[in-house]
Amino acid sequence: MIEITINGDPHEIGKGQSLVKLLQGLNLDPTKVAIERNLEIVPKTTYQNVKLIEGDRLEIVHFIGGGK
């Protein structure tokens, strides 16, 4: 197992897990979110190829109601 940070909270995941697998595990629809990994945007098309490593810091965001 390795430890990564998702939206500020620590999470334990399996070694070498891809972003796609992580999203599946979290029940998140990849088409409805955007992901930043260690302050870099991860293009949606590469979710399959990105393997997470110890200490990765992820921000997973989506659109919510908001005005100003």
Partner 1 sequence: MTKDTFNIAGTDFTSRLIVGTGKYKDFEETARAVEASGAEIVTVAIRRVNVMDPTQPMLVDYLDPKKYTYLPNTAGCFSADDAIRTLRLAREAGGWKLVKLEVLGDQKTLYPNMIETLHAAEVLIKEGFEVMVYCSDDPIMAKRLEDLGCCAIMPLGAPIGSGLGIQNPVQIRLIVEQSNVPVLVDAGVGTASDAAVAMELGCDGVLMNTAIAEAGDPIAMARAMKLAVEAGRLAYYAGRMPKKLYADPSSPLAGLI
**Dist. CA 17–CA 2, nearest whole Å:** 10
Using CA atoms, how far apart are residues 25 and 63, in angstroms rounded to an integer? 21
Q: How far is the CB of 50 from partner 1 (least distance, A)?
A: 13
Query: Side-chain half-sphere of 37: how many Cα atoms within 13 Å?
Result: 15
Distance between CA 24 and CA 31 in Å, rounded? 12
By CB under 8 A, name the binding residues for partner 1: 6-9, 11, 26-28, 32-36, 39, 41-44, 59-68
| Of 12 and 67, CB closest to partner 1 | 67
The nearest distance, CB 15 to partner 1, in angstroms, is 20
The CB-of-48 to partner 1 minimum distance in angstroms stands at 16
